[in-house]
Structure 1
């Protein structure tokens, strides 16, 4: 078993146990209302266990954080894309120069030697 796999297990197993313990300890139903104007009789509300609200908030935070990170690193991805494009262009130019030099060398070897005087 690799070191990365062992480290992954050392992190995932305790977090999983913690998640199960959190779910068991917080299974009472709570009402989630998305109507801030009439709290007594909300237009849209749902009753779910508290752990579902907590897990949904954690997942939403991870997704939102990932999205913000992805957007903020866009300029670095663009710069890397441009650098790769330029590198491929330079590689093609170098290959074209090498091919031209091979053609020139072949043409020189096929020509007659210079006359001796």
Structure 2
């Protein structure tokens, strides 16, 4: 339900504004890739202004997303290390439960509840 409301209240008016912007900025602009010759550039392209702006926005999003992804590599590495450590600790708990069952000759279901990871209570 919330998605439908957001769609109709935010995305539809935004799409209408983008279409109005594109229609208002249809004139051609020349983009030159030759910084040394302004009059007759070696490499240039003529595109509508709205296409140029949309391409630059998309390029900015890609560059910004890549920078954020690269900046967060340390956090992802730490998460992988913590996951591996948690898996190793769970295997160790299972091993200790099996050893305890063997020593006390208890059924496996009763002993499993003794050595189990219990998260700390927040309260």
TM range (shorter): 0.7 to 0.9
Q: Distance in 2 between matches of 1:99 and 1:70?
A: 42
Q: What is the CA-CA distance between 1:8 and the residue it aligns to? A: 4.0
- How far does the alpha carbon of each residue in 1:45-80 deviate from its partner, in whole angstroms, 9 at most, with x for none? 111100000100111111111111111111111111
Instruction: Answer yes or no: is 1:4 the counterpart of 2:10.
Output: no
Structure 1 stretches of at least 4 aligned residues deviating more than 4 Å after TM superposition: none
- How far does the alpha carbon of each residue in 1:81-117 deviate from its partner, in whole angstroms, 9 at most, with x for none? 111111011011001111111122229xxxxxxxxxx
What is the SS of the residue equivalent to 2:91?
helix
Partner of residue 111, structure 1? none
TM-score under structure 1 length normalisation: 0.83
Partner of residue 97, structure 1? 96
What is the SS of the residue equivalent to 2:46?
strand
What is the SS of the residue equivalent to 2:35?
coil
5+ long unaligned stretches in structure 2: 107-123
5+ long unaligned stretches in structure 1: 108-117
Q: Distance in 2 between matches of 1:38 and 1:85?
A: 58
Structure exhibiting the larger radius of gyration computed from Cα positions: 1
TM-score under structure 2 length normalisation: 0.80
Give the root-mean-square deviation of aligned CA atoms.
1.5
